[in-house]
Amino acid sequence: MINQWIKCEKCRSIISTPDLEENLFVCPKCNNHFYISARKTIEIMFQDFQELYSHIRSIDFLKFDDYEEKLKKDIEKLGINEAVVVGYGYLKIDRDKKNEIGCAVMDFGFRGGSMGSVVGEKISLIAEYCYQKELPLVIFSASGGARMQEGIISLMQMAKTVSVINKLKSKRIPFINVVTNPTTGGVAASFVAIADIIIAEPLATIGFAGQRVIEQTIKKKLPPNFQTSEFSLNNGLIDAIVHRKDLAQFILNFVSSFYFWKNYSS
């Protein structure tokens, strides 16, 4: 990697890119978790990752201004066809490869991680895949909400993803959601909210409507840490806040206990 210097937005420390990468893109001074792309998350977390449904692409069915162009730009910039990458594999720390996982990783860099028809479809497809193969599902969420260029079809993805993911419960297959910064709008309010275990990275933003909109509506000042992981944990919306370096182990504990139970009961 080329040695470059990056400034942390939170504490303004200057960090070299190799140091940052070694620290899993977390500021060594203040623990600020930097944005990482879906591809990078997969590279850091998984081994033997097999991508599925990568060919599915959004179409501009509402003929919305510039949508086609914006999609093209993000596809070129990030090397992915949509705001989520789905597939299956093993966590890197799962050395014996005993605990296969289905996963979906959203990318905030692609149209703000917004959920349109294709994001909803891919998440539903990987959930169905996990249901058929009896694999635990792990989703890394990052989203600004619904894809406004796809209108009402975007909102329908909330019901669609939730209904497929809910099928996992009938087979007692765990669904773990990792909230990365930010996870808001229709994504926070749909499949993220129904996860069996909701883990968040420190200081991630999680919520439905924006803070300013809520303040204007209720005409009250909201607490300074409103809609952070810490605020959400204190109010019971999420189950744990986990540092990126501990995340794989945290997930593996749940996944391996699922496999233990599955083998034990069969």
Residues 170-209 touching Zn ion, rule: CB under 5 A, are none
Long-range contacts of 171-175 (CB under 8 A, 24+ apart): 171/131, 171/134, 172/261, 173/130, 173/131, 173/134, 173/135, 173/136, 173/137, 173/258, 174/136, 174/137, 174/254, 174/255, 174/258, 175/127, 175/136, 175/137, 175/138, 175/139
Q: Is 8 near Zn ion (CB under 5 A)?
A: yes
Q: Is 32 near Zn ion (CB under 5 A)?
A: yes
**The tokens 């749940």 sit on which residue?**
254
Q: To the nearest whole angstrom, how small is the minimum distance from the Cβ of residue 178 to Zn ion?
A: 21
Q: To the nearest whole angstrom, how small is the minimum distance from the Cβ of residue 43 to Zn ion?
A: 22
* Beta carbon nearer to Zn ion, 14 or 218: 14
CB atoms within 10 A of CB 184: 24
Q: Is 27 near Zn ion (CB under 5 A)?
A: yes
Q: What string of H, E and C letters represents the secondary structure of 111-175?
A: HHHCECHHHHHHHHHHHHHHHHHCCCEEEEEEECCECHHHHHHHHHHHHHHHHHHHHHHHCCCCE
CA atoms within a 13 Å half-sphere pointing along the CA-CB vector of 212: 0
Enumerate residues 6+ apart whose C-beta is below 8 A from 210. Answer: 184
> What is the C-alpha to C-alpha distance for residues 32 and 3, in angstroms, rounded to an integer?
20
Q: Is 30 near Zn ion (CB under 5 A)?
A: yes
* Beta carbon nearer to Zn ion, 30 or 233: 30
* Beta carbon nearer to Zn ion, 24 or 255: 24
Q: To the nearest whole angstrom, how small is the minimum distance from the Cβ of residue 141 to Zn ion?
A: 23
Q: Is 78 near Zn ion (CB under 5 A)?
A: no
Pick the stretch among 27-35, 37-45, 61-69, 171-179 that binds Zn ion (CB under 5 A): 27-35
Q: Is 10 near Zn ion (CB under 5 A)?
A: yes
* Beta carbon nearer to Zn ion, 34 or 110: 34
Q: Is 11 near Zn ion (CB under 5 A)?
A: yes
* Beta carbon nearer to Zn ion, 29 or 245: 29
Q: Is 29 near Zn ion (CB under 5 A)?
A: yes
* Beta carbon nearer to Zn ion, 14 or 152: 14
Residues 242-261 touching Zn ion, rule: CB under 5 A, are none
Q: To the nearest whole angstrom, how small is the minimum distance from the Cβ of residue 34 to Zn ion?
A: 9
Which residues of this protein are in contact with Zn ion, per CB under 5 A? 8, 10-11, 13, 27, 29-30, 32
